[in-house]
Structure 1
């Protein structure tokens, strides 16, 4: 495990522009730092659209030229489904990206200002500062079949829980309003 983290730490060189992104529904916030954690630009907004992503790409190239960086590493939390559009765009333009554990972000917020407050700029900064220390994972490159299987499995699990909850509600209602039917229902339940 320690060797894996060392490999991740070694991915961030002096020539690497590190970008942390706080993912949101409409606007993401990004922070650029160097390998030692120094901020290279003010936190900026990325609109959740193709135009916003293209502007983001152009800004990254500008920062790389301005600070003599040859590589880039982009990290963000996999928040809901909002990160997927950005991930597809980054993959299409061949920019490497990694995922940061939300628990690491939550536990690291106090590093800068001793406050556990949440705001988009602070979260982007925290995410960026986790990357040079190797606190990230590289997402698996899934085939469309793998992706469909994962989604199908998640849907099945959610439906299974929903069915269990509905069964429990029905049993509660029967116990409250028709206690005499409880025994016949157990017999029916066992036949299924």
Structure 2
């Protein structure tokens, strides 16, 4: 409940769908459970497009998508992340792809908070955004 935009219903729904968090070795297993695992559509020498698998728990992915939309509208850090994903120079994402990436990021944040017992740190969450050198010199 430290994250602005995440309520008690979200946390309880997440825990109800996931169950015991200690049975997962890493957050990628949780992403696979939710259907957010990346799969590549390739055959032989043909390298296809990489998409999410969508082979997971439907209620969990619905819950994560709803909370991702809420976070983008109410939370400054997640809004910055969404803007970065949609406007970056190399490989900009479409808005729906960005929301799915934010849902996957939220899984990693929840996993770290529940397994390591750490508090939510907004600075650490947005630390993977690569800011241009112009912004770094102005700060």
| TM-score, normalised relative to structure 2 | 0.33
The answer to which structure has the higher strand fraction is 1
